[in-house]
Amino acid sequence: MSKLVTLKDKQFKPYLDEAKIASAVTKVATEINKELENEFPVFLVVLNGSFMFASDLLKEVHIPCHLSFIKLASYHGTSSTGTVTELIGLSEDLSNRTIVVIEDIVDTGTTIEKLVDVLERKNVKKIKIATALLKPDAYKKTINIDYVGLEIPNDFVVGYGLDYDGLGRNLKEIYVLA
């Protein structure tokens, strides 16, 4: 893995390498392929952070599916704002469809809670949540997270789609605040 990375005013040290991430992606894809083999789900990618996870995950999902995107925002700098803003919304008819939400990271659960609320009003059949990373110590909501790549401590991480003020999303590995 690489050495320290500086993004703006903060330094980040190596945390999860490409092999560990790839293994987590394969685990999630295997679970989805098995559990949803008789479904025709819509994968709903939460932008911007989930783009790398979604790309890698969907290469390993072998069931028929549709793909859509939604853009939500809840972070400023290194902390959650506590509110979620829908920047790009859904335009597809999702009635009676199984939805698999693809998230980069679930920490407080505020984004997931907002998104599930929006989806339930669209009369979906069922909602599944897939995340690359879960912070169980930070997650206090009651919505089930169905597919988890890796559980991590409640530390601020960047890379593999995750950012600090828009920087670091392009890093292949995941780094933690040094």
Q: Torsion angle of alpha carbons 71, 73, 76, 77, nearest 10°? A: -40
DSSP annotation of 111: H
Q: Name the active-site residue from 56, 93, 104, 107.
A: 107
Inter-residue contact 163 to 149 (CB < 8 Å) = no
| Helix or strand (DSSP H, E) at 15 | strand 10-16
Name every residue whose Cβ is closer than 8 Å to that of residue 133 and which is 6 or more positions away in sequence.
Answer: 104, 105, 106, 148, 149, 150, 151, 152, 157, 162, 174
* Catalytic status, residue 56: no
**Residue whose C-alpha is closest to residue 44's, from 111, 144, 141:** 111
Measured between alpha carbons, how far is 1 from 16 in angstroms, rounded to an integer?
A: 8
Q: Which residues are catalytic?
A: 107
